[in-house]
Amino acid sequence: MIELKTIALFLVTAVAEIVGCYLPYLWLNQGRSPWLLVPAALSLALFAWLLSLHPTAAGRVYAAYGGVYVFVAILWLWLVDGIRPSAWDIAGSLVAISGMAIIMFAPRSA
């Protein structure tokens, strides 16, 4: 059960970070309103707060989160950008998620 909560928290965290970066991208590269920077900043603040909710060492959380970020970014590529991931994108995402699982869920001595 703790594993599912950890993964769900990482997924929400990744979405918050990607939204926080995607909105400035829309402003800078697609001529959208600079007002998008306001929800972008809020989303990035949410991202930082969500990372702080994990009950383990920060360095471990940051390392494991990177794997989830890769996975969610490829989902974003498909669902938001409308680009179907290649087999290599999917393989890389699965490797990244595997790395997260090893880092977060490996048995540890006290």
Query: pLDDT tens-digit profile of 10-66?
Result: 999 999 999 999 999 999 999 999 999 999 999 999 999 999 998 888 899 999 999
Residue 110 pLDDT exceeds 80 = no
Q: What is the DSSP string of 29-84?
A: HH---GGGHHHHHHHHHHHHHHHTTSSS-HHHHHHHHHHHHHHHHHHHHHHTS--P
Global pTM reads 0.89
Q: What is the pLDDT of residue 48?
A: 95
Q: Tell me the average pLDDT across 77-104.
A: 96
Q: What is the pLDDT of residue 55?
A: 82
Residue 92 pLDDT exceeds 70 = yes
Which of the four pLDDT bands, split at 50, 70 and 90, describes residue 79? very high
Q: Tell me the average pLDDT across 61-77.
A: 95
Among 43, 47, 52, smallest CA distance to 19 is for: 43
Which of the four pLDDT bands, split at 50, 70 and 90, describes residue 2? confident
Q: What is the pLDDT of residue 21?
A: 97
